[in-house]
Amino acid sequence: MATSKTVTLRSETAVSLVDPDQTLKASKALLAHMKKASKEKAANAEKKDLLADPDDEEGTGELPIWLTLTTKRHIADSRSLKPGKIVLPHPLNTDPEIGICLITAEPQRAYKNLVASEEFPAELRKRVTRVIDVSKLKAKFKAYEAQRKLYGEHDVFLGDTRIINRLPGILGKTFYKTTAKRPIPVEIQARVPKSDGKRVKRTKDAETVNACTPVQLAGEIERAVGAALVNLSPTVNTALRVGNANWTAEQIAENVDVVAKTLVEKFVPGKWKNVKSIYIKGPETAALPVWLTDELWLDQKDIVADDSEEAKAILSREKANIGKKRKSLEGQPEAAEPVAKKAKKTKAAKLPEGDDTKLDKEIADRKAALKKQKKAAKKALEV
C-alpha cells in the first residue's frame, strides 16, 4: 500500500451531533441483551435467589446503564473533587425512602426552617433526614468513626456551593475515596435579580440570611438528586450513569441524548472536535457505539504526512543514537548524550591459605584414642 502524502481534513466548523435514531437502536439492543443474559444466568444458577424482586420478571433489577465518552486528549488537567451535574428528563433516583443530608452555610436554623415550611413539599421533606451547617459538621464529625457513621446513615449528600470546596478537608477520605457519596453542589442562596439582562451586585446584610425560598430549595434538591454526576479526572475515558436496565429504551435514549450533548458542550475542552467516541453499556456487557468520529486527531498540527521532513525527523528521534549529536525537529543541534562509563571491577583480596597440618594431626590422635577405648571395652565384656 502506497504511503500517504496529503491529508484531507474535515471542516473545523462542522457540528457533530448524536443521532437520536442510533441512540434508540443501541438502547433497544442493549436492553434485549441484558434481559436475555439475566434469564440465562438465573436458569443456569444452582440455587434460586431468595432476595430477588418477584415483580422483576427479567431479573435485571436496578442494573445501571452507563454512557462512556472517549476523548482525543485529557478531559481535565487535574482531578476534581467537586462533581458536576447534568439534569435529566428522567431522574435517576426516585426512591421515596432515600435519605438526604443537606450541608449548608451558617446558620443551619434558617435552612431547617425552609425545609419545615409549609411551602416545602411534604414528600420531599421526609427524604431530607438531616440539615447541618459546615461549622457543626466540623465539630461533631471530626473523628473517623463519626464520619463512617454519618456516611452510612444517608444515601445522598448535598453541599452548599459556598462551602463545597471546604468539605474535602472536613470529610476526608471517608467520603472522597470513591465517587459513590461525594457531596453534590446545590445553589441554595438567594437569587440575584437581573436588570437589563445583567445580574445586580449582591448586597451583604449581617441581619438577613442569604437563603433562597422553600420552593427554590425543593427544586434544587430534586434536580441534584436525580441528575447525572460528572466526576472529572485527567483521563480520556469518562463514564456516567444514565439509567437502569428496568427502564424503557425510549427513556434511556432520551437521557443519553441529553447527557451526550450537555457533557460535550459544557465539560469537554474543544467540544466535539475533541470527542472520539460515545458508547452505552451495562455492568457486564460490551459497549455499543452511539457516535464515532471520522477524525482521530484534534488539530491540523497533529497530522504529519509519511514522506514529509517532520515525519523523518520524528522517526530518527525514536532510534537509539547514543554518543552522537542529533538534529532536533527544528534543526537545532542537540547536546550529545553522555555515555555511561563502565565501573572498574575491583579484584577481591586473596585470603592467606590456612595450615591444615596441625588439624590433621589432632584428628588422627582422636581416632587413635577412640580405637584404644573400643578395644578396652571389648576386653572388659569378654572377661
Residues 267-313 have pLDDT tens digits of 999 888 889 999 999 998 899 999 988 877 766 666 667 777 777 77
- Asked if 139 contacts 108 with a C-beta cutoff of 8 angstroms, the reply is no
Q: In angstroms, rounded to a whole number, what is the distance separating the alpha carbons of residues 38 and 58?
A: 7
Q: What is the pLDDT of residue 64?
A: 92
The pLDDT of residue 13 is 41
Which residues, at least 6 apart from 264, have a Cβ–Cβ distance to it below 8 Å? Answer: 69, 271, 272, 275
Residue 316 cell numbers, joined: 530518527
Task: For residue 278, count other CB atoms closer than 10 A to its CB.
Answer: 25
Of 192, 188, 187, 214, the C-alpha closest to 203 is 192
Q: Once rounded to an integer, what is the mean pLDDT over residues 315-334?
A: 54
Measured between alpha carbons, how far is 240 from 267 in angstroms, rounded to an integer? Answer: 13
According to the model, what pLDDT value does residue 16 have? Answer: 45
Say what the pLDDT of residue 43 is: 77
Tell me the average pLDDT across 51-78.
77
- On whether the CB atoms of residues 31 and 8 are closer than 8 A, the answer is no
Report d(CA 179, CA 177) in Å as an integer. 7
Question: Comparing 42-46, 134-138, 199-203, which segment has the lowest mean pLDDT?
Answer: 199-203
Q: How far is CA 118 from CA 107, 137, 190, 218, 319, in A?
A: 20, 27, 19, 12, 75
Nearest to 10 by CA among 296, 371, 230: 296
The pLDDT tens digits of the residues spanning 185-219 come to: 999 888 777 666 666 666 666 567 788 899 999 99
Average pLDDT score, the chain: 81
